[in-house]
Amino acid sequence: MLDRTKVYLKRKNAGPRFVVLIMFSFVVALIYNAYIVPNNVVCGGMSGLALVINKLFPVDPIFYMNILSVITLMLGVLFLGLKETGYGIVGYLVYILCVNITAPIAKYFVLDFDSVFLNTIVYAFIRGLAFGFIYRTGFNTAGTDTIVEILKKYRKKPIGYLSNIINGAIIISGLFVFGLVNTIYAITFLIFNNLICDYVLIGSSVYKICFIRSKEFDKVVDYLQEEIGSSYTILDSTNGIGILNRKIIMCVVPSTKFIDLRKKLIKIDKKIWIVSNDCYSLEGGTVESLLLV
């Protein structure tokens, strides 16, 4: 799955973003208490790990989720800094509050389509949609998202790759504790959840075409070559009246790397200019390397 990384937005949108965070955190928490906990669906994340630990040492799963999330946030502050972890702290506090609020009322929101598989798909669809909107606000719910950020900083691996490794390990632990059938439903749930979440974040295209203008031209080019592995084209531009010549970088990147790209470029140059759009066809260039990332 795509990395669930902060999407940097203007501070003037803080109010609406926070409202969206609360609304969709409530939805995610409701699904956690109405479907994931009763059915022992270990679909990754700290919530899944909490279910595994709860099976071995029976206490309320929310208690374990609190402990695990606090530990990951402390690690985030230690290795990433308070600024980088701040969105996770706010998102976690809102989410865990919603989890506690929805725990006693979740039984009234149980969906039953007389098919466990269909139930799984519907809950995964709703949860993926909700998480997609949460990540679009720039917040996250901490947990494995923070661990992935830490590993990415020191291991230089794509977020999707690291996320799959961590969640895969948690799902395998669920296999030994809850059995094969529950694990199959958990994998199905996670796949559909991630597909919908990715669609909300980046659309349905395989690639993004980007036009970039920055004062840190050389650093941007180095990043595209060394970390993204994308070729690029340099375009000469003016301000429309023949003065203020500028260089614009045109490149095509895999959609799975787009949010990483955007985040990194903003770190390189806070005043960077980026225009992007969906790209549905790509021939020549570095097609092979793009398909293999």
Residue 109 banded pLDDT, cuts 50, 70, 90: confident
Mean pLDDT over residues 207-223, rounded? 85
- pLDDT (tens digit, 9 = 90+) per residue, 22-74? 999 999 999 999 999 999 999 888 888 999 999 888 888 888 888 888 888 88
pLDDT of residue 293: 31
Q: What are the residue ranges spanned by the domains of the chain?
A: 11-202, 207-292
**CA dist., res. 48 & res. 126, Å (int):** 18
pLDDT band at 244; cut points 50, 70, 90: low
CATH architecture type of domain 207-292? 2-Layer Sandwich (3.30)
pLDDT tens digits, one per residue of 168-182: 899 999 999 999 999
Pair 42, 186: CB distance under 8 Å = yes
pLDDT band at 11 (very low <50, low <70, confident <90, very high): low
Q: What is the model's pLDDT at position 172?
A: 92
Residue 9 has a pLDDT of 42
Answer yes or no: are the C-beta atoms of 182 and 22 closer than 8 Å.
no
Non-local (6+) Cβ contacts of 87 within 8 A are: 6, 138, 139, 140
Residue with tokens 């070729």: 231
- For tokens 């390990």, the residue is 169
User: Taking 70 as the threshold, does the pLDDT of residue 5 lie above it?
Assistant: no
Give the DSSP H/E element, type plus range, for residue 52: helix 45-56
Quick check: 7 pLDDT over 50? no
pTM assigned to the model: 0.70
Residue 100 has pLDDT above 80, yes or no: yes
- Positive or negative, the Cα torsion across 272, 255, 49, 113? positive
How far is it, in rounded angstroms, from Cα 176 to Cα 171?
9
